[in-house]
Structures are given as structure tokens and as C-alpha cells.
Amino acid sequence: MTTHPPHTDPPGSRRRSRLVLVVDDEAALRRSLTLMLSDAGFETIEAEDGTLALDLVRAMRDEIAVVVLDVAMPNMDGIEAARRIRELRAEMPIVLMSGYPQEPIAGTLALAKPFDPETLLRILYRAIGGVSR
């Protein structure tokens, strides 16, 4: 886990935590995302698939501010992981990333790959601020 100095929350944000769970089976992409988020003042933890993400949500359910999930992953894909996370914590903000066009599941936000850091941050601030699609 990476820690960073305090950062101002976006307007309307009600969450104190700035911990983002980044879930993607591609290590290079996970690292790139965590660096982008770290530069913006977020703390991050990582998982390489939905199964590990679910374990982290169980262990840290009150500390995680938002989950960023890749849709296509081995073991448990992002769609199934998002559904199971919702069973554990219905209000958990979830952002689904995909290189393929698709409809997000209810209560999630979609992030189309490839994306730039500004787009990622805009979607995360929207998720953390409690705004849903």
C-alpha cells in the first residue's frame, strides 16, 4: 500500500478515505494506474483478479473509498466481482474499466480504455462524491 500526504477532497465528497482498490490482471497497467492515482494524492492497494479483490474488500470494507475493476480478468471477471462486492457493501463506489464497449451494471461507472489521467480522476471524483450514472 502506498501512502501520501493529505489531499483536498473534491466538492461534495462525503468520504474521508482516499484508498482506491485497483484490480487488473495486467501488472503494468495496475502499476500505471497506481502511479497516476498516487500523483493525485490517493492511496492505493492492488489485486490481480476479482477473487483477490473480493478478499481485500472483505478485509478492508470500511477503509476502501472506491474499487476500480477491469472487466476481463481470469478467475473472476470484473462484472462478477462487482456483483459480489455489492453483496458485501451495497454502497461501495465501483468503476468498471474495459477496452470493449459495454453497459455498466447498475450502480457502477464505466471507464473506457485507453483513458488519460484526467478522465480517470474525473470518474473517480464522481464515484467518491456519491454521483452515480
Q: How far apart are CA 103 and CA 106, in angstroms?
A: 9
- Do 90 and 67 contact (CB within 8 A), yes or no? no
- Do 69 and 97 contact (CB within 8 A), yes or no? yes
- Do 112 and 99 contact (CB within 8 A), yes or no? yes
Q: Catalogue all structural domains in the chain, each as residue range(s) with its CATH number.
A: 19-128 (3.40.50.2300)
Tens-digit pLDDT profile for residues 7-64: 444 444 443 578 999 999 999 999 999 999 999 999 999 999 999 999 999 999 899 9
What is the structure's pLDDT at 93?
94
- Do 60 and 85 contact (CB within 8 A), yes or no? no
Q: What is the pTM of this model?
A: 0.82
Tens-digit pLDDT profile for residues 96-107: 998 876 666 677
